[in-house]
Structure 1
C-alpha cells in the first residue's frame, strides 16, 4: 500500500487506456451536456469540431475512471480530493479516440489540522492515440499517512 510517505515530488507515471465510443459520447451528452455537437452528427459537422465530439466533462469522467483504476492497481491509500486548481480542454475528444494519462507529482505536505492525512498536487495530462494532449488539470489528492503520530515537518 502506498501512503503519503511514499509519494515523491517529481515522480512521473503513465497509465490508463480508455476507448471512446459514439454510444457513450451521446449517452453522456443526453444526460449531462445536451449540446447539439455532442448529440447529433449533422449539427456537429457544421461546427468548428467538424464531427461529433465528447463533452469536456465526459473527458473528465473518463480520466477519473482511469485515475481510480490506477490507484486501485497500485494500492494507493487515497482519501478523495478537495478539488482541482486548473482544468484545460486542449483538443476535442472524438468517438474512436483512445485516451491515456501522464501524471507528475508537483508538491506534497502534511495536513496540520488532520495529521492522519497528507495532501499532494499533481499535473495530469490526457493524451489521445496520436500522443496529442487533449486535456490537462492540476489535481489535489488526499492520502492516508502511514504514521499519524510522527512529527509534521515544517
Structure 2
C-alpha cells in the first residue's frame, strides 16, 4: 500500500493474512522528545543531555511511549485506514533499539492473523505485526496488536 495517503477505509474482508502496509515517515527532534517526556515520561535520559550521557543509553533518547505514539499516528494517518478507526483489543510492544533525536521513523505492518467473529458477525479480529524502523532500517519498535475490524454490510462469517 502507498505511504502518502491512507486510502479508502478497510474492512475485515480487505485484510487477508500476509497483506502489508507501509506508512509515511516522521522525523523526531530534540524539542519534541523533551516535550513528550516532560508530560508523560519525565526521566533524566529523556530530558537532560548531560544526565543522559551517564545513563544506560549514553545519550538522550525518546521515550518508548513516544515511539509508540508516533507509530500510532503514522498508522492512523498513512498506513492502516480501518473503517471506524484503529481499535485495539490487546497486544505486545517491544523496543529493541532506542529512538534518538534526528531519527526518521516509518512503520511496516503485516496482517498475521484474521478471524471472523462467530458471536458478532458484524466484525472480526485482525492481528497486525508492526515494525517501526529508523532511517537506517533498524527496528526500534515491534508491536503486535489485535484489532477489532468491522465487516462489510451483508458479509457472512467464514
Give the structure-1-normalised TM-score.
0.90
Give how far 1:118 is off: 1.5
Alignment gaps of 5+ in structure 1: none
Over 2 Å off, 4+ runs = none
Q: 1:28 aligns with which of 36, 47, 64?
A: 36
Q: Does 1:47 align with 2:55?
A: yes
Alignment gaps of 5+ in structure 2: 1-8
| 1:59-84 superposed Cα distances (whole Å, 9 cap, x missing partner) | 1001000010025xx75314411121
Give how far 1:150 is off: 3.9
Q: Partners of 1:99 and 1:75 in 2: how far apart?
A: 19
Q: Partners of 2:90 and 2:18 in 1: how far apart?
A: 20
Give how far 1:36 is off: 0.4
- Shift of the 124–50 alpha-carbon distance from structure 1 to 2, 3 Å rule, reads same
Q: Partners of 1:42 and 1:117 in 2: how far apart?
A: 50
Q: Which residue of 1 aligns with 2:17?
A: 9
Question: Could you say what the CA RMSD is over the residues aligned between the two structures, in angstroms?
Answer: 1.5
Contact 1:101 1:124 in 2 (8 A): yes
Give how far 1:135 is off: 0.6
Higher mean alpha-carbon deviation, 130-139 vs 108-117, is at: 108-117
Give the structure-2-normalised TM-score.
0.88
Give how far 1:6 is off: 1.3
Give how far 1:2 is off: 2.2
Q: Does 1:136 align with 2:142?
A: yes
Q: Partners of 2:75 and 2:81 in 1: how far apart?
A: 12
Contact 2:75 2:81 in 1 (8 A): no
Superposed, 1:86-97 pairs within 5 Å as: 86-97=92-103
Q: Which residue of 1 aligns with 2:156?
A: 151
Q: Partners of 2:95 and 2:62 in 1: how far apart?
A: 11
- Equivalent pairs counted in the alignment come to 149
Q: Partners of 2:55 and 2:90 in 1: how far apart?
A: 32
| 1:79-130 superposed Cα distances (whole Å, 9 cap, x missing partner) | 411121x211010101100001111100101122322111100110010000
Secondary structure of the equivalent of 2:144? strand
Contact 2:122 2:150 in 1 (8 A): yes
